[in-house]
Structure 1
Amino acid sequence: PTLLVQGQADSLFNLNEATATYRALKSQGTTAKMIWQAWGHSGGQVPGELDLSTGDLESSYVGRRILDWFGRYLRHDENTATGPEFAYYRDWESGYGTAASVPATSRTMYLSGDGSLVDSRAEVAPGSRGYTNWLLPTSHSESSLAGLIGLSDPAPYDTKGTYLGWTSAPLDEPVDVVGAPKATLKVVSPQAERVQNSGDAADKLVLFAKVYDVAPDGTRTLVNRLVAPVRVPDVTRPFTVELPGVVHRYEAGHRLQFVIAGSDTAYFGNRGVKPVTVVSAPQDTGVLELPVVR
């Protein structure tokens, strides 16, 4: 029996890793439950969460869940309850949310040719937009090394002309995302197409997908600084990207912005300059799927 505890603020092992393990265990009949706590390898600890340095398991939700799990499966106390199937820390309400399973994607948004992120295909404007990567990184998500050597980590950024973004209208009501968003899109890149079948994985087109929370004043927040590095398998065909899992409330009045960038300082990027174009039409456009809870 396995109790998985994974941190939301973790760019080393994100929530998708724990989810994959959980699903693999369940598929073979192993008893398993999962908790997503706030803190991970990238920090993010909040007051009242499990602190292993104190040895006090009883003072936190996660600690009590661990004790109950050991009580049930090590002491074999049949009367010890082991808690909900899935629990996740949420910073917009006190305590943990719970569910019978990891939420599935339930809201679909479409990438419009004018740079909008819209709720229906009918709203998609025809058009094409593009970017060109540089040989040096022009986007930044996070630098774990900065904290280790006592430096401040600059806020995430993207350099104009080296990324594409699609931005929603201001939200009428809060949107709570719990889980891993998915994006399906197709890109055009003749330079990448010419070399992608060379047999060298480094010749594949590389891009970086992420979702920002854009406040009414224009301030952008990259939730837990998480980004999905993608080696595009074939630029002539649509492909699907699973972004890192998050637990985040996009408040009313805020906007969602889906971004693909040509590089990121936390990763090795493209070998060579490979311009990218994305074409949109109402019946043929990229989609962003969000796991929304209500």
Structure 2
Amino acid sequence: MADYQRLGAAPVSELAREERVRTRDGVHLATDVYLPSAGDGTRDDSPGDTILIRLPYDKNGEYTFIPLVAEYFLQHGYRVVAQDVRGKFRSEGEALLFVNEVRDGEDTLDWIVAQAWSNGRVAMWGDSYYGYTQWAAAASGHPALRAIAPRVTGTGLGEPVHRDLGTRVRAVEMGITNLYPLTHFHGSDTFLWEPDWSRRDFEAQAEAFQEWAGARSRSYDQWVPHPVTLPRFPNGSAFAGRSVPVLHTIGWWDNCAPLSWADVEEIKQFPAWDAHHYLRIEAIDHESYQFVEAEGDRVAERTEQQIRAILPRTLDPALAFFEVFVRGEGSIVDIPRVTWQLAGTAEERTEPAWPPAGSRSVTRYATVEGGLSPEQPVEARERTWMHDPEDLVPSTAPDAFSYLLYLPDEAPLGERGDVLVFTGPEQPEDVELAGPVGARVRVRSTGPIMDCFVRVLDVAPDGTAVRIARGQQQLHEARDAATLEIDLGHIGYRLRSGHRLRVHVSSSDYPEFLPQPGTGRDPWTDGVETVPNTQALIIGGSDALAIELPVVKGALA
């Protein structure tokens, strides 16, 4: 049997008192209230500004260290409200992903402004799902919500990606998707377990877990085998209503960054939101590990001392933002519209817009010899490889959410026969890349469905390689060749002199992404039977493999 670990609610922090917020349908949400010290051993319950955090990961648990976050906010004079979302830990109701967060956020805001310690001004802060709850509360249009600071999240967070990107093109499904409602949203507690990735009877393993747990996950049953998308926002979009000033933080190596960038693009279609949108881009992954970490800090289990040490870099940008938009101190013009870190350096830069002014798109083409050239090869040639579902290209990090904890060397993957490798010349000078990265590939397969993964790497003089951009798409009716335009995300990176660019192309990245069994059947529900497929990629000609890179300073070799 799989190793199932169950985590219940941790004790309430000594700094907080637990309240019960009643929602409009009578459900009570467990809510910790942190008030600043009055200096005489009591708490100051006079009216003040409040920061609200709504999360499903236990408001008192070690994973999110909310009591330490609250303590830091208290030191800056804020009241803090931390709440278990509906159905989680001490809160009543059914644990159901996403759909109740607008109403429950609105009801919680109503409750806060009715308290004696509230002056009617509220901000929200948090990562991932508790970044999503900010977008949801803002979509309610509640007038008390003055600013939000969502980090590493997106309004489209979490649901299966069974959506068309074109006539025959879809997104590739992350392996975590169907697992999430069986871990963090299976009842009130958290269950830590993983499928046996050496087997691909995923649906059977999910059923075995639910039998062990003695209950089913409603969210899982709404997604598998036929996804049902429930409405999240009142008007179809999180940005269709009243706008709120937002400090929007994205990580260069966050595996959820595509969702964040999709929100950036959607916000541009809503002028009121666009006017209040402030972008912050950091060299972090989903769990806030940094690309450049102090020695000894790249550890799986951070000590309390290490957590306290990262709070300033994590929380100070939000506090500066709230100072202007919640407290009315300082000037709006002093808040940069875009703040971004140039990965590979200690530099933090500001811009009036993203991408930076002067960023220019430069194209590099794959060559038959395995190079990257500024010249497009005239003759179209074909490179093939075998997609063997029994010998998949392995994901390089054990946990995709903590990619920078491992910061894996990607070079060894290029030694596999099912990974095509294209390497550019040695860089004669430093070059800075800042902006969107894209790939154009023409592919086909002997199988009905093909996944195509494209990775851009920085290869150091010692031969080790760091991934700096990536993207993937799924092609249906893949026996007929098609040209894919693959979004590889955004980049802010200094490629050093003596380094080289490299591109990897493959058709699996497992278990971070569910692999194609080669039969055209669903890999989660019917992926046990497998058939090898031959994949083909065009090099040269009008459909040559092309990588678009944004150069802001220097010349790309």
Normalising TM by the smaller chain, what interval?
0.7 to 0.9
Match of 2:539 among 264, 276, 280: 280
List per-residue Cα deviations over 1:4-52 (Å, max 9, x = no partner).
01222322x12x32222123223201110110122332442346xxx99
How far apart, CA to CA, are the structure 2 residues paired with 1:25 and 1:178? 21
- Asked if 1:185 corresponds to 2:441, the answer is yes
Question: Distance in 2 between the 1:180 and 1:234 partners?
Answer: 28
What is the aligned partner in structure 2 of residue 231 from structure 1?
Answer: 474
Secondary structure, in 3 states, of the residue corresponding to 1:291?
Answer: strand
Structure 1 residue 100 displacement after superposition: 2.6
Q: Is residue 8 of structure 1 aligned with residue 262 of structure 2?
A: no
1:10 and 1:184 mapped to 2: Cα distance? 23
Match of 2:269 among 13, 27, 39: 27
1:99 corresponding residue in structure 2: 351
Q: Equivalent residue for 2:399? A: 144
Counterpart amino acid of residue 129 in structure 1: R
Which amino acid in the other structure matches residue 421 of structure 2?
G
Cα contact 1:176–1:292 (8 A) shared by 2: yes
Query: Which residue is equivalent to 2:431?
Result: 175
Is the alpha carbon distance of 1:91 and 1:139 closer, same or farther for their aligned partners in structure 2, counting shifts above 3 Å?
Answer: same
Cα displacement (A) at 1:137: 1.8
Q: Which residue matches 1:200?
A: none
Q: Mapping of 1:95-244 within 5 angstroms? A: 95-103=347-355, 106-121=361-376, 126-135=380-389, 136-144=391-399, 155-156=409-410, 157-158=412-413, 159-189=415-445, 191-192=446-447, 195=448, 204-223=449-468, 227-233=470-476, 235=478, 236-244=481-489
TM alignment of 1:237-252, pairs within 5 A: 237-252=482-497
Change (3 A) 1:27 1:172: same
Deviation at 1:152, TM superposition (A): 7.0
For residues 257 and 52 of structure 1, the distance between their equivalents in structure 2, rounded to whole angstroms, comes to 35
Structure 1 residue 96 displacement after superposition: 0.5
The offset of 1:180, in angstroms, is 3.5
**CA contact 1:69–1:82 (8 Å) conserved in 2:** no
- 1:234–1:71: structure 2 CA closer, same or farther, 3 Å change rule? farther
Please tell me whether the aligned partners of residues 287 and 401 of structure 2 are also in contact (alpha carbons under 8 angstroms): no
Compute the TM-score of the two structures, normalised by the length of structure 2. 0.44
Structure 1 contact 68–80 (Cα < 8 Å) conserved: no
Gaps of 5+ in 1: 196-203
Structure 1 residue 63: Cα displacement: 4.1
TM superposition shift of 1:279: 2.5
Q: Secondary structure at the match of 1:187?
A: strand
Structure 1 residues 137 and 42 mapped into 2: Cα distance closer, same or farther (>3 Å)? farther
CA distance in 2: counterparts of 1:146 and 1:284, whole angstroms: 34
Partner of 2:285: 40
**Stretch deviating more after TM superposition (231-240 or 23-32):** 231-240
Identical amino acids, percent of aligned pairs: 21
Aligned residues: 271
Q: Supply the AA of the counterpart residue of 1:269.
A: P
Find the counterpart in structure 2 of residue 198 from structure 1: none
CA distance in 2, matches of 1:56, 1:82: 24
Report the Cα offset of residue 154 of structure 1: 6.1
Aligned residue identity for 1:268: L
CA distance in 2, matches of 1:56, 1:43: 9
Rg larger for? 2
TM-score by length of 1: 0.79
| Matched residue type, 2:268 | K
Structure 2 unaligned blocks of 5 or more: 1-244, 295-304, 519-531
Offset at residue 108 of structure 1 (A): 1.0
RMSD, aligned CA: 3.1
Q: Deviations over 1:210-260 (max 9, x none)?
A: 11111223222223xx64332124542211111133332221221111111
| Counterpart check, 1:289 vs 2:553 | no
Asked if the contact 1:118/1:124 (under 8 Å) is kept, the reply is: no
1:40 and 1:82 map into 2 onto residues whose CA distance is: 27
Q: For 2:331 and 2:306, how far apart are their aligned partners in 1?
A: 26
| Equivalent residue for 2:260, pick from 10, 18, 22 | 18
Measure the CA separation in 1 of the matches of 2:419 and 2:453. 9
Assess if the C-alpha contact under 8 Å between 1:168 and 1:256 holds in 2: yes
* 1:145 positional shift: 7.8
Separation (CA, whole Å) in 1 of partners of 2:487 and 2:459: 21
Tell me the distance in 2 between the aligned counterparts of 1:145 and 1:76: 39
